[in-house]
Amino acid sequence: MAPKTQKRAAAKFYQEDIVQRKDDSNTFGVILRCWQDAEETPPAGDHIDPLMRPLVQGEVGVSYFPKPMREIVPEDTLELVDRLYQPGDLLKRSVDDVRSGVVTRTHVKGRLEHAVSSFSLPGWKSMEEIESAVEIDMGEYVIYNDWVGQVVEMFDESLVEVPGGTLVRLPELSARLAVGEKGQDILPQPVGSVTGILGFLLGGTRPSDRDTVISVKHTVLAVAWLAINQSLSPEEAQGKPRPQRYWYGEDLGKLTTITRKAEEAMRVGDRVKLKNTRDGPVTRHGRPLEGVIEVDTLVVQETRTSVDVLWQDGTRETMDVKQTVPYLNPDEYDCWPGDHVLWKTEDHKRHVVVQSVNAQDRTAYVRVVETGAVELASVLELDPHGSGDWSPLAPANDGLGVRRGDFVFIHREGTTNGARAPMVPRIGEVEEWVREAPTLGPNGQIGGWRSEMTELGSRIAEQRGKEGSVDEVPLKQAQKGDTSLNWFGEVLDLRLDGTIEVILPSADTIVVPLERLTRLYDSVEQLEDLWGDDEGTVEDEDDVEVWEMDQDGHWVEGTMDGDDDEWESADEELDPADSMDVEGGEWSPSTDTVTIPPPINGETPMAVDSALPPETQSSAATQSPSPHPPKEAGDVEDGPWKRFEVLPSAPVDHAFYNTPPAQHTRQFMARMSKEYKALQSSLPDSILVRAYEDRTDLLRSLIIGPENTPYEDAPFVIDWMLDANFPQTPPIAHFLSWTNGNGRVNPNLYEEGKVCLSILGTWAGDKSESWSASRSSLLQALVSIQGLVLVKEPWFCEPAYEKLRGTEDGIVNSRLYNEKAYVLSRGFVRRALEIPLGGLEEELRWFYHTSGKLRKVLGDARALIVKSTATQGDAEVPEADRERAVPRLSSGGIIALERTLGKLQALQDAQTATEANAADGAKAKAER
């Protein structure tokens, strides 16, 4: 269904893949970076870390073991050994397969060797034969007195064997070392604070490549307490205050560890022990008089993994992971059997449970919770997230239902979580101290609460072996059969009847309704959400090279020679009436205007008219042309299709109508006069703008979707507000989204109204793309939206996806997105005609009814349905249709589209009847 172009080779490796060098079978590695990753591109230049340079396609960043080394290498130099999944992960058989599956269970076996001696154990060991050699790790959960907490920092004491057999004690903050690690970077320099088992060394020890870690003990834990047992009554909960922050000594024995099932699986590099220790190798370290340490810790050297997969069609299969690829860019409508979703149509919104999905047809059988009936639905009408502004790059954490691997609180039988199903609330309060980023003082000393923890851990280390020293007590583990913690558990599976399987700390499995569960919102999630909110606002207004308007109202290439261009003429005299009186003058559309907006998110600029600077002609030629309203539009001098007009008053349905009007200065009015003149002379035929005499700070724009895009002939309305600082700050835009909660119509146009665009300061593009008071304009912003947002392949507007253009992954996802955008934007036509839009009612009526555009929308959509129905199952799209933005529709797309076409046809029939009645009336009057 995509155009036949030269496809790029599919990626061979993904993050966390275990690989082996083809030229050295003893050298293994883990993939840390891939070309296709959705990541910020590292800046060019010299880097201490060899992995931190931009990748080209076909390269990966890998970290090797047992010899520690990091480098960027071609994929062809490596061979895949194993691929890591955990329950809840998504996968496919290949990147171009539309069907995906969800991992329900992993089966891992590994080859082990002794961490210190490197003695290799024969054969492969299963997960049932080993246990973790690490008592607790960063990010793991603990329970105390009905509270669930998460370890956010640790202070360690490591024993290091140096040449000669001496053991030294190394106390330090954070989990840096593991048993068996060797090298000169183990001991710090200087080592004056390093102590031996029986006391301080006197400075004779220096780092050596033979230094070996033989023991690591976590002596102090910092725990972020997140939430309390939800089965307690309010009175009981009040009697259990939030526990302490730091845990050490005997208090450690009061904590119970809770480990996620996925973390119990072997991973290369894990430190483990055999459950049957009689068969394992042991090394001994130290001197008899000082104390001997026995080490039975093993390292996982190689793994083989298979996974149980639940496919979208409901079938289950156990597969070798090397026969699969991770599904990194899920479609927003993707769902799997057992998922709780909302089924949204124009007439109803219902809670349903997915039974099976036909990914090729984009249809799903769903069970309606209220009635128990199983019905066929289009996946385009299903909302699996409970958020129309979901994005695969930043998926909403709040959502519908639960997922395999989620930690959940279980409410008492007969009670609920208080939310309306299928919404499931999440709880977990990260205290302010946890949000504090690490800081260093002028002497390199760590600051904040980590400083307190370091002092505490250091005092414990100094007293080790002396009178009054602190001895650690092992953390408790949840015991099989102990039901005291059974108010908390992990989601194992989702049943087709809507119930949820949960495994409890007692190892028992229970089945509960969704309404009795609340999800745990952990520290990692919250901090990622907190630190990920910075996208988008451009604060630096430095002068940059952009396009500017000359004295004739034409856009030309700007220069860096000062700020005294036309837009900055703030001191000239201005008659306020002149700036508003644009309707009375006679004008005709400019035929030689060049409007070149700056690029956003990697898109190539598009020409609105034919005249282009030479350097942009070749790239602009690949873009779709602007749409053309009926030819008579530009010739109707007094008709409704006036591209720019000033109306007496702002409509009450304007998004910013209730905002207090800004106090505008002479400079503001002078600037607005120039903005109005530019809009009057240079707007393309397919963009209308309305300004208002009573609210100079407000505007409303109508943009008609360009030809051969998913948005063709659809109306896009954006309301604008200019605050008191305009033009020093960019205009504020609000998109009127009419998607009925079924998702974004475009990656840059959010359902809540945000318009994500560099020139508006809502996306952090480079400086040449941002708003400049002296060189940017409202016209530029409007044409940017039409030319760079409403494009033929909008999926690639996501910055991280532009580099996937031409790949199998990109082709499949772009096709699915185009279908969704096309169907949703047909609904925009209906909304614009059914609910009058202040200031644009006559224009929309004229465009869709009088000029016949609604008939065209209906005809084009029905022709597409006929083509799609006739060719369903065909692997190839005919040559003539390959360049179409939407060459075919899936069965699910047809179902959703036909609902909208039924409403549009009713509007067309009503208009036809009105016109017929008017004609009959006129005829009768003439006959009289």
Which amino acid, 281?
P
Cα atoms in the 13 Å half-sphere on the side-chain side of 430: 18
Asked if residues 779 and 720 have their Cβ atoms less than 8 Å apart, the reply is: no
CA 339, CA 386: separation in Å to the nearest integer?
Answer: 12
CA 509, CA 283: separation in Å to the nearest integer?
Answer: 40
CA 565, CA 581: separation in Å to the nearest integer?
Answer: 24
Q: Which two tokens stand for residue 653?
A: 């349905």
Nearest Cα to Cα of residue 608 among 633, 588, 628: 628
CA 389, CA 147: separation in Å to the nearest integer?
Answer: 33
Active site residue 34: no
Strand partners, 427: 520
SS3 159: strand
- What angle separates helix 853-870 from helix 891-927, to the nearest 10 degrees? 150
* Residue linked to tokens 């082990």: 112
Which amino acid, 83?
R
* SS (HEC) of 300-333: EEEEEEEEEEEECCCCEEEEEHHHCEECCCCCCC
CA 771, CA 780: separation in Å to the nearest integer?
Answer: 10
Asked if residues 329 and 37 have their Cβ atoms less than 8 Å apart, the reply is: no
Catalytic residue among 34, 335, 756, 797: 756
CA 400, CA 406: separation in Å to the nearest integer?
Answer: 13
Return the number of other C-beta atoms located less than 10 Å from residue 859's C-beta: 11
Q: Which two tokens stand for residue 852?
A: 């016949």
Q: Which H helix or E strand runs over 735?
A: strand 732-735
SS3 225: strand
- Cβ density class 47-74: b for 16+ within 10 Å, e for less: eeeebebebeeebbbbbbeeeeeeebbe
**CA Rg, the chain, in Å?**
33
DSSP conformation class of 840: T
CA 749, 752, 753, 754 torsion-angle sign: negative
SS3 547: strand
- Cβ density class 162-178: b for 16+ within 10 Å, e for less: beeebbbbbbbbebebb
Catalytic residue annotation:
756
